[in-house]
Amino acid sequence: MAAEISISRRLRSTPFTQGVTDHGVKSYTVYNNMLLPTVFRSLEEDYWHLCEHVQVWDVSVERQVEINGPDAFNLIQLMTPRDLSKAQVGQCFYVPLCDEDGLLINDPIAIKHSDNLWWLSIADSDVLLWAKGLATGFCLDVKVSEPDVWPLAIQGPKAEELMTRVFGESVRDIRFFRSEMMNYSGTEMLVARSGWSKQGGFEVYVNDAALGSQLWDELFEKGADLNVGPGCPNNIERIESGLMSFGNDMDFKDTPYECDLEKYVSVDADIKSLSIEALRKHNSTRELVGLVLDQEATGLTVIQNDMPIGEIRSQTWSPKYKKQLAFAMLDFAGTEGQTHVLVCTDDGLVKARIAPIPFDFDALEITAHPK
């Protein structure tokens, strides 16, 4: 039997929690000490709805770590091996954060508000505390804080249409991974074209709790004919789309290279980053890869040449492609070039194809099926 979640003040609610409850949330996870909905109707119903319509997501769990002061850029650059020296105001950057050993601390989106003011829109770990520790130890002239900001995502193919009805036609001009300050009910809020799905959409960085519930209601009112629904990051959609989850697919013991994030490591740039030296010397045979199984079967241990070579970290049955899809961290030492592995499942050993992330279904000759 599934266990319930016990809610207390420590698992913070959000300005949208009442709306989420009223819309019949069925389950939650906890992320950055905050409630994150995971299912409304069923994982698969939510999935098809996201692929076809538009959803409003309470992603307040994407906490902002604000770095404010003359040393803001220096601190951010210390934390990430990605060269941010050419960042423009309003631009969003996916940045792995890494320690001196090159190991991942988090993988936030960095948003440059001004030369002296940055936000890190974080995944699930207390980046606030790491940044505070570094700022204190290095005597940096910055204030590190967590502002009262609760991102609300509008995701799905009809997201742009719905957003124009609330924020006006100019939202169409926001490019992918760019943001603009936009007016909502007299208050300026950051609006970015981003979100943790590949169905398109926006994230509104709500900075006023009362306006948050007003915006929530307005989106549902104005989107009724678009079949707007409550939603949340969907495990099926995000695995199909190759979106990795910090804590699930990668963690404190992995490097960006092992997690297919080498393009975010500016290994040749002249930057003052804690991790860059370690990453320049990086050497590992571990790699996060995709696995494709022809049958619906969940497993943990992955076998090659009769030996365990790693573990599955996330997995889902894809209703669209009729395949079991997984992300697995595997050690290919001595087995480079092989194309298949075996997965230990409840049904025994099942053969799986190794595939790059994101999955290239065309190259895999896997065809999408209609609902």
Would you tell me which residues interact with a copy of itself (CB under 8 A)?
2-6, 8-11, 25-31, 33, 38-39, 99-100, 105, 124-127, 129-139, 146, 235, 245-248, 252, 274, 313-314
Q: Smallest distance from the beta carbon of 4 to a copy of itself, in angstroms?
A: 4
Q: Smallest distance from the beta carbon of 338 to a copy of itself, in angstroms?
A: 25
Q: Smallest distance from the beta carbon of 186 to a copy of itself, in angstroms?
A: 25
Q: Which residues contact 371 (CB under 8 A, 6 or more apart)?
A: 48, 52, 319
The closest alpha carbon to 162, from 150, 152, 175, belongs to 152
CA distance 189 to 161: 19
Q: Which residues contact 363 (CB under 8 A, 6 or more apart)?
A: none
The closest alpha carbon to 189, from 161, 159, 209, belongs to 209
Q: Smallest distance from the beta carbon of 185 to a copy of itself, in angstroms?
A: 25
Torsion of CA 91, 95, 100, 105, to 10 degrees: 130
The backbone torsions φ and ψ at residue 219, rounded to the nearest 5 degrees and listed phi first, read -65, -40
Q: Smallest distance from the beta carbon of 75 to a copy of itself, in angstroms?
A: 10
Query: Of the two residues 31 and 205, which places its CB atom closer to a copy of itself in the complex?
Result: 31
Query: Of the two residues 32 and 179, which places its CB atom closer to a copy of itself in the complex?
Result: 32
Query: Of the two residues 55 and 235, which places its CB atom closer to a copy of itself in the complex?
Result: 235
Determine contact, residues 257/278, Cβ cutoff 8 Å: no
Three-state secondary structure of 12-78: ECCCCHHHHHHCCCCEEEEECCEEEEEECCCHHHHHHHHHHCEEEEECCCCCEEEEECCCHHHHHHH
Query: Of the two residues 11 and 209, which places its CB atom closer to a copy of itself in the complex?
Result: 11
Q: Smallest distance from the beta carbon of 129 to a copy of itself, in angstroms?
A: 4
Q: Smallest distance from the beta carbon of 252 to a copy of itself, in angstroms?
A: 8
For residue 243, count other CB atoms closer than 10 A to its CB: 18
The Cβ-side half-sphere exposure at 155, using a 13 Å CA radius, reads: 26
Query: Of the two residues 164 and 241, which places its CB atom closer to a copy of itself in the complex?
Result: 241
The closest alpha carbon to 173, from 187, 160, 155, belongs to 160
Query: Of the two residues 67 and 159, which places its CB atom closer to a copy of itself in the complex?
Result: 67
Q: Smallest distance from the beta carbon of 288 to a copy of itself, in angstroms?
A: 13
Query: Of the two residues 8 and 283, which places its CB atom closer to a copy of itself in the complex?
Result: 8
Query: Of the two residues 137 and 186, which places its CB atom closer to a copy of itself in the complex?
Result: 137
Determine contact, residues 35/28, Cβ cutoff 8 Å: yes
Helix axes 159-167, 209-222, angle to 10 degrees: 120
Query: Of the two residues 102 and 223, which places its CB atom closer to a copy of itself in the complex?
Result: 102
135-154 core/surface letters (b: 16 or more CB in 10 A; e: else): beeeebebebeeeebbbbbb
Q: Smallest distance from the beta carbon of 238 to a copy of itself, in angstroms?
A: 11
